[in-house]
Structure 1
Amino acid sequence: MEIKEVLNLARMPSILMLGVVYVAYVLIGGVIFWKLEGELSRTDISQILNNKQRLFKTYTCLNQEGLQDVAQMVQAASKAGLSLKGNYTTEGFWKFTSSAVFAATVVTTIGYGNMSPSSTAGQIFCVFFALFGIPLNVVVLNRVGKYMLAIERNISDFLQEKTGRKKCTRFFVHLISYICGAVLFFVVPMIVFQLHEGWTYSQAIYYCFITLSTIGFGDFVADNNPDRSYPDWYSVLMASWIFFGLAWLALVINHSIDILERLNTHFRQRWCHEPQEESGSGNDNNPETQVEDVDGLKKPPETQ
C-alpha cells in the first residue's frame, strides 16, 4: 500500500467524526425547534379554528367558499403591498426603491419571499438576472471583505510597531473590529428598525441576523408594511446596510471557519497521529493571508 493511500485512510476517522458531529448538530437543532415551536404551533392552530367558527357565527352569510375567497383576497393584497385598513390606493411593492431592494435580495440570495415577479417576462428576467448577479455579488463581497481585512491588518501592523507585542495587538484589533462591526451592523439597525417598523428589540436583532446571514425566512421584512409611511432615505440606507453587512458577516464567518479548521487539524493530529503540516502550507486558507492577493495591496519588493 502506498504512503498516499495510508494517509487517506488515516483521514477517514476525522471525516467520519466531522460528519457525525454535523448530523448530530442538525438533529439536536431539529429537536429543540420541535420542542420550542411545536406546542405553540398546536395552540395557534386550535386558536385559528376557534376564530374561524366565531367568524362563521358572526357573519352568518359567510360560508366556507366565501371564507376562501376572503383569504385569497387578503393574500393577494398582502403580496401586492396594499393596505386593508383603508379605501385608499398606494403604489404597492413595485415602486423604484422597493424594486431596487428586491434586486439586492435576489443577487444576495436572501429571498424573503414577500414579493416576487408574477409576469412571465419578469420571471424569465429574474432567472438571468440572478444567474449573472449572484456570482458578481460573491466576487464583489469577497473583494470588499478583503479590503476590510486589509485595513484591519494595517492598523494591527501599525500598533504592533509602536507596542512591539504581536499577538496581544492582533487580538485586541480583531476584538475591537468585531465590536465595532456588531454595533454598526446590528445595534444601530436594531434601533432604526424598532423606530420605523414598530418591532421589539428582539425581533429587530433577529431580523438583522436572518438577513445578513442570507437565511431570509421572510417572517419579518423591513420597508414592507403598507400601513406605514417610510422616508425616502430608508430604502437606500437598508440596501447599503445589507451590502456592507453581508461583507462584514462573511468576514466573521471566514474567521470562524479558520478557527474550526485549526481545531480540526489539532484534533486530527492528536487522535490520528498525523504528521504536523508545515507552517507555510496551512496559511493558504487563512483569510488574513489572502489579502495579499488583492490588486494593489501587495507591497512591492524593496530595492537596494
Structure 2
Amino acid sequence: MGGSRAVCCPALRLNEDNARFALLALFILLYLVCGAAVFSSIERPMELRAQRAWSRRFANFTRCHNISRLELGAFLREYEQASMAGIRVDPLRPRWDFTGAFYFVGTVVSTIGFGMATPVTVSGRIFLIFYGLVGCAATILFFNLFLERIITLLAYILRWFHERRRQRSGLSGASEGRRGSSPSGEADSLDDWKPSVYYIMAILGGASLVISCCASAMYMPVEGWSYAESLYFCFVAFSTIGFGDLVSSQKATYTNQSLYRAGNFLLILMGVCCLYSLFNVSSIVIKQFLNWMLKRMECQGCRRGPIRRRARAHCNAVHPAAAAKARPHAVSMETVCDSDTDGRRVSGEMISVKDFLASNKVSLAIMQKQLSETANGGPRQSHSRYNGFSRGVGALAIMNNRLAETSVDR
C-alpha cells in the first residue's frame, strides 16, 4: 500500500498543477466576461450621450456653413493624415459595447493598456482600480504558470533530441556495456543532463517571431497596414508596451468579423506569453553576464591590491572551514576568485530533467519563504555559492531558483 501511494502521489501532484493552470485560465476568462459586462453597463450610456452630442454639433456646423457631411468628413481625414493630430473621424466600432469592453479589459489585465478607450465616469474609474488589482495579479500568475510549463515542455523535447543524438553516435551502446558496473546507469546520466539556456532562448525567440509574422500577415489585408507597421504593432502589443498609435480590431465592420476578432485575441495571447517567457530567459542570461563581469573585476582587484593579494594567498593556503572561523572575509574572497569555472559551468545549463520528473510545479513556496525571511529581517542563505541565481521574487526568482537547484554539485 505504501509503495502504490508513493507511485500515485507524483501523478496526483502533476494533475493538480495542470488542473490549477486550467482553473486559473477559466477564472481569467470568466473575469474578463464579467468585467466587460460591468464596464459596458457603466460606460456605454455616457458614450451614447457623447455620440449624440457630437452628431448634433456636426450637423449644426455643416448646416450653418453650408458644407456637406461627406466633404467635411473627407477634410478632417486628410487633416488627420497630414498633421497626425489624433483627430479620429473614421467609422470606428463602439468603444463600450460588450465586444469593445471585452477588448478593453483584456488590455487591462494583460497590462498592455493601448489607451484607445478609457473610463470617463467616476464609478468606472474606481471600479477599474479594484478590477485591475485582481486581474493583473491573476494574469501575472498565469504567465508564470505558462512560463514553467513551456520550459518543462522544451526540456523534455531537448532531452529527446539529446537521447537520439546519443543513440546515433553510439554512446548509448557503450553506456549499456558499463551499466553493470555503474549503480546508476545511463538513465541517471540522462536525468542529470541539462538543456542549454541559449537553446531555450533561441526556441522562444523563434516562436515569438513566427507568431509575429503570422499575425502581421493577417493584419496587412484586414487593417490596411504595411508589413513593417504590422510587425511594429506585434512587438508593441506582445511586449505589453502598448503605445496605442496602432490598435487592431477597431473598425466598425470586418469581413468575417467574429473569426478575425477571435484570431486577433488568440494571437495576442500567444504572443504575450511567448515574449514574456523570452524576456525572463534573456534576463537570466544578462544577469549571468553581469555577474561574470563583476567576478572578473573583483578577481583583478585581488591580483592588484597588496591587501587583497594577502587575503587571497591566505584563502588558498587555509582550509575554508578554518578560514571561516579566523577571517570570514577571506573565505568570501576565495569564493569569488575561485568561482570562474563554476560560473562557466552553470552559465550554459538550464533545468535538469530529473528535477522536472520529481516535481513540476511553480515555486510559490520559494517565493513565500523569501518574503517571510525578508519580513523577519533574517538573511537568506542560498544553497549555491555565488552562482548568479540567488535572490529575487516573482517570475525571475522562479527560474533563478530552478536553475540554482540544478547548478550545485551532486
Q: TM-score range by the shorter chain?
A: 0.5 to 0.7
- Asked if 1:189 is matched to 2:215, the reply is yes
Match of 1:130 in 2: 132
Structure 2 residue ranges without an equivalent (≥5): 1-63, 67-74, 170-192, 300-335, 364-401, 403-410
Match of 2:101 among 99, 103, 106: 99
Match of 2:247 in 1: 221
- Separation in 2 of the partners of 1:107 and 1:157? 35
CA contact (8 A) 1:269 1:276 kept: no
CA shift for structure 1 position 233: 2.0
Higher relative contact order (CA 8 A, sep 6+): 1
CA contact (8 A) 1:97 1:236 kept: no
- Asked if 1:245 is matched to 2:275, the reply is no
| Counterparts in 2 of 1:249 and 1:83: CA distance versus 1, 3 Å | same
| Counterparts in 2 of 1:296 and 1:254: CA distance versus 1, 3 Å | closer
Match of 2:337 in 1: 275
Question: Letter of the aligned partner of 1:242 in structure 2?
Answer: I
- Separation in 2 of the partners of 1:125 and 1:289? 45
Post-superposition CA distance 1:60-98 (Å, at most 9, x none): 969xxxxxxx99xx99994xxx746xxxxx861223223
Post-superposition CA distance 1:128-167 (Å, at most 9, x none): 1101111111000110121111110000111111213978
- Separation in 1 of the partners of 2:195 and 2:155? 13
CA contact (8 A) 1:197 1:222 kept: yes
Cα RMSD (Å): 4.1
Match of 1:108 in 2: 110
- Separation in 1 of the partners of 2:362 and 2:281? 23
CA shift for structure 1 position 241: 1.9
- Asked if 1:117 is matched to 2:119, the reply is yes
Post-superposition CA distance 1:205-235 (Å, at most 9, x none): 0000001111100000001134756611222
Query: TM-score, normalised on structure 2?
Result: 0.46
1:232 match: secondary structure: helix
CA contact (8 A) 1:92 1:226 kept: yes
Question: Letter of the aligned partner of 2:208 in structure 1?
Answer: G
| Counterparts in 2 of 1:115 and 1:276: CA distance versus 1, 3 Å | farther
- Separation in 2 of the partners of 1:294 and 1:253? 21
Match of 1:233 in 2: 259
| Counterparts in 2 of 1:230 and 1:217: CA distance versus 1, 3 Å | farther
Post-superposition CA distance 1:34-84 (Å, at most 9, x none): xxxxxxxxxxxxxxxxxxxxxxxxxx969xxxxxxx99xx99994xxx746
| Counterparts in 2 of 1:77 and 1:262: CA distance versus 1, 3 Å | closer
Structure 1 residue ranges without an equivalent (≥5): 1-59, 63-69, 85-89, 299-304
Query: TM-score, normalised on structure 1?
Result: 0.61
CA shift for structure 1 position 288: 4.0
Match of 2:361 in 1: 295
Match of 1:35 in 2: none
- Separation in 2 of the partners of 1:100 and 1:148? 27
Post-superposition CA distance 1:251-283 (Å, at most 9, x none): 111121111111111111111113355959x97
Match of 1:158 in 2: 160
- Report % sequence identity: 21
- Separation in 1 of the partners of 2:219 and 2:280? 27
CA contact (8 A) 1:107 1:134 kept: yes
- Separation in 2 of the partners of 1:267 and 1:187? 36
- Separation in 1 of the partners of 2:227 and 2:93? 29
- Separation in 1 of the partners of 2:137 and 2:197? 32
1:261 match: secondary structure: helix
| Counterparts in 2 of 1:76 and 1:201: CA distance versus 1, 3 Å | closer
